Amino acid sequence: MGLKVYLNGKFVDRDKAKISVFDHGLLYGDGVFEGIRSYSRLVFKLREHMDRLYSSAAAIKLKVHMSKAALTQAVLDTLNKNDLDNAYIRLVVTRGPGDLGLDPRKCRRGGRVFIITDKIALYPKKYYEKGLHIVTAKTRKNYVGAIDPNIKSLNYLNNILAKLDGIKKKAPEAIMLTDNNYVAECTGDNIFIVKRGALFTPPRNISLKGITQQAVIEIARRKKIKGREKNIRMGKVYDADECFLTGTAAEIVPVTKVDGRIIGNGKPGRMTCELHTAFHKLTKTDGVRY
CATH at residue 172: 3.20.10.10
Domain boundary among 118, 134, 167: 118
Number of CB atoms found within 10 A of residue 22's CB: 15
Q: Are residues 158 and 236 both part of a single domain?
A: yes
Q: In terms of DSSP H, where are the helices of 84-133?
A: 125-130
**Domain limits at 112?**
4-118
pLDDT for the residue numbered 1: 63
Residue 288 included in any domain: no
Which residues have a Cβ under 8 Å from the Cβ of 91 and sit 6 or more positions away?
Answer: 33, 34, 35, 36, 49, 53, 71, 75, 113, 115
Q: Are residues 209 and 241 both part of a single domain?
A: yes
Domains in the chain, number: 2
Closest to 228 in 3D by CA, of 254, 202, 252, 196:
202
Q: Are residues 270 and 252 both part of a single domain?
A: yes
Domain boundary among 118, 147, 172: 118
- What value does the mean pLDDT take over residues 6-26? 96
Phi, psi of 281 (to 5 degrees): -65, -40
Q: Are residues 78 and 166 both part of a single domain?
A: no
pLDDT for the residue numbered 162: 98
What share of the chain has pLDDT > 90, as a percent? 97
Contact assessment for residue 219 and residue 192, using Cβ atoms and an 8 Å cutoff: no
Is residue 172 scored above 70 in pLDDT?
A: yes
- Band (220; pLDDT cuts 50, 70, 90): very high
Give the span between the Cα atoms of 17 and 211, in whole angstroms. Answer: 28
Q: Are residues 183 and 75 both part of a single domain?
A: no
Contact assessment for residue 254 and residue 132, using Cβ atoms and an 8 Å cutoff: yes
Which residues have a Cβ under 8 Å from the Cβ of 127 and sit 6 or more positions away?
Answer: 172, 253, 254
Is residue 110 scored above 80 in pLDDT?
A: no
* Active site amino acids: 152
Q: Are residues 152 and 272 both part of a single domain?
A: yes
